[in-house]
């Protein structure tokens, strides 16, 4: 497998460049805009939206295998191509239960994996407030907690996830849009964790060290690797990752987001069927980055070691905080001056509030979460205007 087609041309595809070079693989990208980050590193680009299956047919003619950096595709249309012999990795059946958050929760539950309590909001339920309230009442204890309303499809970076504190806001949200939703209990988590796992063509599974992720307004801000957790908990998470990837017969790499509850239980929040923000630290901190690992898996190569090369790594997202065309040279230079820092700038031409413009990873010579937190604060004080 020498020519890999990637559906999606954002930063996740862009960060595959080094791995591709190392493995001698060519990347051909399907993405709508010439300003998308991966256009600069791709051998060739098919300019089209990611859900344009006609464009994917053209992409398929140029590639040995097709993979995803964006899962918001039209599976039904792509399955025609798969039936004609186009090689998708992961195969489409491995994505099918995951693209709708309600189906994803049902799938995980059927596998016996721990998830928050949830239910789907269908139209009839919206018209029956008493029934709806009764379902909500059964969700969680104590009931003073808010509930979480999620769009079933196309949610990312917290878009489509709403923490709802009262009945009026719920009714307003449900009636003001035609989206399909699920409702779940609010998990008063002690921490959020994540793990990256890859599975090869031969069925070998490799998992990365479990990390702590920190979200603000539902968007990932920082990742600390490794998470300060017990060996037992790490082993439990490892089993969750293996169970999932083996059952789906994944060939490729997934990100798995988890909640750690105050009483020490782990619940799966979400599966990303591709490389994930919680694994960006691996570019600079691990023997094999998640991006190289994903390419290894989809190209049928043996997987690489996921081992950390440093006792601690901290990754901080550089999120847009204004609408601007600045390239933030001065802030980037100050951040680059931090010892053992590696800055990755995605080259987007416009900054918008919340947009992921780049990230920085700093390696630490000791196992020290407090120091990692302090470094993250320093980076954020340079990056965000006070
Ligand atoms: P997205 O797919 O947009 O990333 P997620 O479902 O992962 O959305 O939610 C984003 C963030 O919102 C989570 O990382 C967490 O901080 C918060 N969140 C989501 N679901 C819950 C929940 N059930 N309880 C508490 N917080 C939640």
Q: Which atom of ligand 1 is nearest to the CA of 150?
A: 6
Q: Does residue 125 register a pLDDT over 90?
A: no
Q: Residues lining ligand 1, judged by CB closer than 6 Å?
A: 116, 148, 150, 155-161, 184, 186-187, 192, 215, 218, 257, 269-270
Chain mean position to CA 243: 19
Q: To test the ligand 1 pocket, which listed residue (270, 273, 276) has its Cβ within 8 A of the most ligand atoms?
A: 270
Nearest to 48 by CA among 57, 351, 355, 16: 57
Distance (Å, whole) CA 255 – CA 270: 8
Give the start-to-end residue ranges of the domains of the chain.
3-88, 117-185, 191-383
Q: Which atom of ligand 1 is nearest to the CA of 215?
A: 16
Q: Are 285 and 363 in contact (CB under 8 A)?
A: yes
In the structure encoding, which two tokens stand for residue 120, read together? 């789907």
pLDDT at 334: 97
**Domain 191-383 classified CATH 3.30.470.20?**
yes
Looking at the chain, the whole-number percentage of residues with pLDDT higher than 70 is 98
Q: Ligand 1 centroid to 98 CA: how many Å?
A: 16
Q: Does residue 79 register a pLDDT over 80?
A: yes
Q: Which atom of ligand 1 is nearest to the CA of 184?
A: 23
Q: Ligand 1 centroid to 159 CA: how many Å?
A: 10
CATH superfamily of 117-185: ATP-grasp fold, A domain (3.30.1490.20)
pLDDT at 49: 97
3-88 and 117-185 agree in CATH topology? no
**Full-model pTM:** 0.96
pLDDT at 169: 84
In tens, the pLDDT along 319-348 reads 999 999 999 999 999 999 999 999 999 999
Q: Which fold has domain 3-88?
A: Rossmann fold (3.40.50)
Q: Which residue has the tokens 């097709």?
A: 66
Q: Ligand 1 centroid to 28 CA: how many Å?
A: 32
User: Starting from the edge strand earliest in sequence, which strands make up the sheet with 65-68, in order?
Assistant: 44-47, 26-31, 3-7, 65-68
In tens, the pLDDT along 270-326 reads 999 999 999 999 999 999 999 999 999 999 999 999 999 999 999 999 999 999 999
Q: To test the ligand 1 pocket, which listed residue (158, 159, 183, 317) has its Cβ within 8 A of the most ligand atoms?
A: 158
Model confidence at 142, pLDDT cuts 50, 70, 90, reads: low
Write down the mean pLDDT value for the chain: 95
């Amino acid at each position: 497998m020498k020519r890999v087609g990637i559906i999606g041309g954002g930063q996740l595809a862009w960060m595959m460049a080094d791995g591709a070079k190392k493995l001698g693989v060519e990347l051909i990208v399907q993405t709508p805009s010439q300003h998308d980050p991966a256009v600069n590193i791709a051998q060739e680009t098919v300019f089209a939206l990611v859900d344009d299956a006609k464009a994917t047919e053209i992409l398929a003619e140029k590639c040995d295998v097709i993979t995803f950096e964006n899962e918001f595709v039209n599976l039904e249309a792509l399955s025609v191509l798969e039936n004609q012999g186009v090689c998708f990795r992961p195969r489409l059946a491995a994505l099918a239960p995951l693209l709708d958050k309600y189906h994803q929760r049902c799938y995980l539950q059927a596998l016996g994996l721990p998830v928050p309590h949830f239910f789907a909001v269908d139209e009839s339920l919206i018209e029956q407030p008493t029934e709806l309230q009764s379902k909500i009442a059964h969700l969680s204890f104590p009931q003073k907690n808010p509930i979480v309303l999620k769009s079933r499809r196309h949610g990312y970076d917290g878009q489509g996830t709403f923490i709802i504190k009262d009945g009026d806001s719920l009714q307003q949200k449900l009636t003001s849009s035609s989206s399909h939703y699920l409702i779940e209990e609010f998990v008063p988590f002690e921490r959020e964790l994540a793990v990256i796992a890859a599975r090869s063509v031969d069925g070998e599974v490799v998992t990365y060290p479990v990390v702590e992720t920190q979200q603000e307004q539902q968007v990932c801000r920082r990742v600390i690797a490794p998470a300060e957790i017990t060996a037992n908990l790490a082993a439990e998470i490892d089993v969750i990752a293996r169970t999932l990837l083996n059952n789906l017969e994944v060939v490729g790499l997934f990100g798995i987001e988890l909640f750690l509850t105050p009483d020490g239980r782990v619940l799966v929040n979400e599966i990303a069927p591709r490389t994930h923000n919680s694994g960006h630290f691996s570019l600079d901190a691990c023997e094999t980055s998640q991006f190289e690992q994903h390419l290894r898996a989809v190209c049928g190569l043996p997987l690489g070691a996921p081992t950390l090369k440093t006792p601690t790594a901290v990754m901080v997202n550089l999120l847009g905080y204004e609408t601007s065309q600045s390239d933030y040279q001065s802030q980037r230079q100050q951040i680059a001056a931090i010892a053992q820092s590696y800055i990755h700038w995605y080259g987007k031409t416009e900054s918008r509030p919340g947009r992921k413009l780049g990230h920085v990873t700093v390696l630490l010579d000791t196992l020290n979460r407090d120091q990692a937190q302090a470094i993250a604060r320093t980076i954020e004080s340079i990056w965000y205007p006070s």
